[in-house]
Chains A and B, each alone.
Chain A
Amino acid sequence: MLLACLSVVLIVGTWQASASYRWVDPIFLPGPLEVLGALKGIVTDPGFASDLSVSANEFFWGLGLSVLVGGTLGILSGWYGAVDEFLRPVVTALNSIPHLALIPLLVLLFGIGVLPKVLLVLLSCIVVMLMNTAAGVRSVDTQLLRMAKSFGASDRQIVCAVVLPSVVPFFMTGLRICVGKAVVAVAMSELFGSTAGIGNILIKAQSAMDMSRMYAAVVLLTVIGIALTQLAAALEAAMQQWKA
């Protein structure tokens, strides 16, 4: 924790020094204080709430669909070898594609509204959710399955009482990873063409040559990404206290 603080102080200090001593032209890299001021400007902007809600909307829809679809397919492919085999080519392909390269395609097909953003989040997250839950199902202790059977548990009871609880830790790890990926996906797809959202603030600031505001948007996105990931990590830990 101390070391982590130290590294942050060091980075911000270097940044401030580069502004004070003009290592980099402040037109291209304004100092931390100016950026902080611009950040305050963004947050207090009357339009900010609507930008935030647009990004949040894209984030939650994309992530929600990934969790739902990816989680379900993951459970199915972990349990049934046939489903796994059927999905494998798609999963492998989706896992290898650089998702950001799909943005122009998505813009071309679906315009610059909310839909292509949701789709990009979905494309970057669904495989992670799928692979994690499938690994969770595969890791279910066969001894526990046998134990449940010996108590006369039905297939449905076994799934609810043994399989799903064993998948939870894997699922939560997938969710934590996806939260970060989803923030990046939302921001990137907004940069490539949008009418609203945090990424839109950034791209508008850039075209207006308002560098402080642009960096402030970057900082804002980073802070949001970190905060959401921390939240997911806390949830992850809370849901498996029995492991300690």
Chain B
Amino acid sequence: MTVIFQEQEVSPPGSCVDAPTKLQIRDLRVTFSSRGKNFVAVNGIDLEVRDGEFIAIVGPSGSGKSTFLMALDGLTPSSGGEIAVDGKVVTGPGRDRAVVFQDSCLLPWRNVLDNVSFGLEMAGMPKGERYEIARELIGLAGLTQFETFHPKQLSGGMQQRVNIARALAADPQVLLLDEPFSGLDAQTREIMQGELLKIWDERKKTAIFVTHQIDEAVFLADRVIAFSARPARIAGEWSIPFPRPRHLSIKQSPEHRALEDSIWQVVRQEGALAAA
């Protein structure tokens, strides 16, 4: 089996180079057992993420990206290795991490305000306080006029903004995003990428963002990581040098295109392996 590893040594973006480690993943393994047979989904991933760093993960379909993310959140138990946030070992879901799910997962009977404050409510925060925080994030997401709307009354893009605001309201140390824009049309998706960076520039959360869209990964991230075909290992890693705040126009630059190409080659090879 070929192991592809590409590293482009470009100067990493300023702010988080010497930031302390936020998330430490050591030899992470996830195994599912079905009908007595073991099925390895994630096979020994080592990753160190600095405070405030934005990581994007790409890789072929079924390679184990979602599984990896769910293991980081503690929703899926790992079968080996270790995950630590600020040096504290992860044993299950916790308030130091929050997930932005692919389908917005909003509670349909709750309005925007009550959806955004959901995490804080589960944490036992009194109503007045959690509404104050939620309103701030609703403002940041540009949804102030829609505070009393129910999910059914919102567009897909707006629902995803609520989804992101809900995760940020919980004030996690690490934000885990699983293809949050994959259900949106290309145009809304671009707008949302810009919106996400705007919000993220404001909050500077450590983020792990899973996506199929390579241009999205390059545009958003400080570092892009490509997963191999299942079982997932790291097949490639790229530092993304563009300064922040980034504007959507950088997607047209030759540097951006070159990075996309180089990542695409690795992902395509892995995809071919997955299909073989």
- Chain A contact residues, CB within 8 Å of chain B: 143-144, 146-154, 157, 161-162, 165-166, 168, 240-244
A143 near B101: Cβ-Cβ < 8 Å: yes
B152 touches A151 (CB 8 A): no
With A147-B101, A165-B109, A241-B150 given, name 16 new contacts (CB 8 A): A144-B105, A144-B107, A146-B75, A146-B105, A149-B75, A149-B93, A151-B93, A151-B122, A152-B122, A161-B122, A165-B107, A168-B109, A242-B108, A242-B110, A242-B150, A242-B152
Q: What does DSSP make chain B's interface, helix, strand, loop or mixed?
A: loop
Q: Is B222 engaged at the interface, CB distance under 8 Å to the other chain?
A: no
Report A-chain residues with C-beta under 8 Å of the C-beta of B118: 148, 151, 161
Interface 1/0 per residue, B158-181 and A, CB below 8 Å: 000000000000100000000000
CA distance A154 to B122 in the complex (A): 8
Given B105, B121, B150, which contacts A147 in the complex, CB threshold below 8 Å?
A: B105
Question: What 0/1 pattern do residues 170 to 210 of B give for CB contact below 8 A with A?
Answer: 10000000000000000000000000000000000000000
Give the docked Cα–Cα distance between A165 and B105 (Å): 15
Taking the complex as formed, is B123 at the interface, i.e. its CB lies under 8 A from any CB of chain A?
Answer: yes
- Within the complex, what minimum Cβ distance (angstroms) separates B78 from chain A? 16
Complex CA gap A147/B108 in Å reads: 13
Complex interface: chain A residues within 8 A of B123 (CB): 151-152
Closest 10 CB pairs of A and B: A147-B105, A151-B119, A242-B150, A153-B122, A150-B99, A242-B109, A151-B122, A165-B109, A150-B93, A152-B93
B99: nearest chain-A partner, CB-CB: A150
Contacts of B151 in A (CB 8 A): 242
CB within 8 Å for A143 and B105 given contacts A151-B122, A151-B170, A153-B122: yes
B residues lining the A interface (CB < 8 Å): 73, 75, 93-95, 97-99, 101, 103, 105, 107-110, 118-119, 121-123, 150-152, 170
Residues of A within 8 A of B93 (CB): 149-152
In the complex, which residue of chain B has the Cβ closest to the Cβ of A144?
B105
Question: A158: nearest residue on chain B (CB-CB)?
Answer: B122
A150-B107 CB under 8 A given contacts A161-B118, A161-B122, A243-B152: no
Please, could you name 6 A-B residue pairs with CB atoms under 8 Å apart, sorted by A? A146-B101, A146-B105, A148-B122, A151-B119, A152-B95, A157-B122
A62 to B99, CA, bound (A): 46
Nearest CB in chain B: distance from A158 CB, A: 9
Tell me the bound Cα distance from A144 to B103 in angstroms: 10
Partner of B107, one of A157, A162, A244: A162
Cα A146 to Cα B99 in complex, Å, equals 10
Q: In the assembled complex, how far is the CB of residue B51 from the closest CB belonging to chain A, in whole angstroms?
A: 22
Q: Which residues on B sit within 8 Å (CB–CB) of A240?
A: 109
Does the CB pair B73–A150 fall under 8 Å? yes
A54–B225 Cα distance when bound, in Å, is: 74
A150 touches B75 (CB 8 A): yes
Shortest Cβ distance from B170 into A: residue:
A151
- With both chains docked as a complex, state the minimum distance between the C-beta of A146 and any C-beta of chain B, in angstroms: 6
Cα–Cα, bound, A42→B243 (Å): 86
- A153 vs B93: C-alpha distance in the bound complex, in angstroms? 9
Chain B residues lying within 8 Å of A166, measured Cβ to Cβ, are: 109
Residues in B neighbouring A157, C-beta threshold 8 A: 122
Measured between C-beta atoms, what is the minimum distance from B249 to chain A in Å?
Answer: 35
CB distance from B41 to the nearest CB of A (A): 17
Residues of B within 8 A of A243 (CB): 108, 152
- Minimum C-beta distance from B69 to chain A (A): 10
Q: Complex Cα distance A147/B106, Å?
A: 9
Residues of A within 8 A of B95 (CB): 152
Question: A146-B75, A161-B118, A242-B150 are contacts. A152–B108 as well, Cβ < 8 Å?
Answer: no
Contact B75 A161, beta carbon cutoff 8 Å: no
Residue contact B94 to A152, C-beta cutoff 8 Å? yes
Residues of B within 8 Å of A154, CB to CB, are 122
* B100 to A: closest C-beta gap in Å: 10
